[in-house]
Amino acid sequence: MRKCSIAIMLAVLPVEGAFAQSNVTMYGLIDGGISYVSNQGGHSVTRFDDGIFNPNLFGITGAEDLGGGTKVIFKLENQFQLGTGAMLQQGLFGRNAWVGLDNAQLGKLTLGNVYDFMYTSLTEAGNAPPVFSGGLYNFAAGPFQKLGIPQNPTGWFDWSRTSGIPTSNSIKYESPIFAGLSVGALYSPGGVAGSFGSNSAMSFGLNFANGPFGVGAAYTQKKYPGSASGSPQIPVWNWGVGAHYAFGPVYTAADFVTVRNSFTGAGAYAGQVAANWQITPAWSFGASYMYMKGNDVLDNNHASQLGATLNYSLSKRTMMYAEGVYQRANSGAQAAINGIMDPTGSSSSASQAIARVGLRTTF
């Protein structure tokens, strides 16, 4: 991602000197293309789809050097739909909106709307296979329509939270790296009078990296408010582990992720492996395999999924790609590939496939 620095223009001239060590950067990711879905609610469909290889993002990030190795940092980031220009999260900066302090010796503290450690310790750390085999379609969804996660577009979309689901009103701490090891913790107070834990969230992460090898683990619990006045909280928890290793031009990753809706007892897990081969400076190829399994509340449904992507870089910023995804569930289940945001978009059968060509660029 090429970042372009911009100067801060101040109307009040006497305070300009206070910002002499500051910098602000604008950046963005844009992805668009055509996808063919073999069975969406009983019918095939060809459609414009965007935010698949990577989310469509526009952001502003910055830092101010306070001296002594300490910086004030911030990020404001929104996610938008390329086809319509509409924002996908509530508010102007629904994807990320935080301010914090960063010190090489003491660690990083951020306050606001941030990602939990299912994203930070797995995906951001390079331990999530879907990133290397085509993006959003390759994160876990599957034939788990009864999962019932609140505030979720389908109730089972990216139930592992590894594609990056923001946690609002959070306090997040990430330690410095000591001999390759780092830890982190997040807490989001619920703000409910008389009930300290209601509507709250907590998350923890652990990472180790040494050269081409890295491993991470994470746990997140989110307590969603009930659907009606006086109804109970709905705790949903996730945990996962992942690792990566780079064999020269071949990058490999594997993870194991879980989810449990403690209100209904519905739970599922997924194990996935992927590899991405940088064939030449311009060409690369990625592939993944995932197995998903639900418990008895989810009718013991299970599915296997294959994904592959062939990429050609037109420049350092811009890439064309073609990808395919195929999911096969057990008899009687409805296959559901992640990224089909229609709650009725599951296949009417046990199989579903997507073929896609797209273009992505960064700035």
Domain extents in the chain: 4-362
Residue 46 or 225, more confident: 46
Contacts of 193 (CB under 8 A, 6+ apart): none
Domain 4-362 is found in CATH 2.40.160.10: yes
206 forms bridges with which residues in the sheet? 183, 217
Tell me, what's the pLDDT at 225? 83
Token couple for 36: 């063919």
Average pLDDT, the chain: 91
pLDDT in tens, 302-320: 999 999 999 999 999 999 9
**Banded pLDDT at 12 (limits 50, 70, 90):** very low
pLDDT in tens, 196-229: 677 899 999 999 999 999 999 999 999 988 755 4
The residue type of 338 is: N
Contacts of 26 (CB under 8 A, 6+ apart): 3, 4, 6, 58, 59, 60, 363
Other CB atoms within a 10 A radius of the CB of residue 287 amount to 21
Distance, in Å, from the CA atom of 334 to the CA atom of 337, rounded to the nearest integer, reads: 10
pLDDT in tens, 146-155: 999 999 999 9
* Average pLDDT, integer, range 333-350: 96
Mean pLDDT highest for which of 64-68, 81-85, 140-144?
140-144
CB 204 within 8 A of CB 185: yes
Q: Is the pLDDT of residue 6 over 70?
A: no
**Banded pLDDT at 261 (limits 50, 70, 90):** very high
Provide the 3-class DSSP secondary structure of residue 137: helix
For residues 114, 115, 120, 122, the Cα torsion angle rounded to the nearest 10 degrees is 180
CB 102 within 8 A of CB 71: yes
Tell me, what's the pLDDT at 5? 32
CB 163 within 8 A of CB 130: yes
pTM of the model: 0.90
The residue type of 332 is: G
Distance, in Å, from the CA atom of 122 to the CA atom of 18, rounded to the nearest integer, reads: 38
**Banded pLDDT at 233 (limits 50, 70, 90):** confident
- DSSP H stretches of helix in 88-191: 117-118
240 forms bridges with which residues in the sheet? 218, 257
Distance, in Å, from the CA atom of 275 to the CA atom of 244, rounded to the nearest integer, reads: 9
CB 116 within 8 A of CB 201: yes
* Average pLDDT, integer, range 71-84: 96
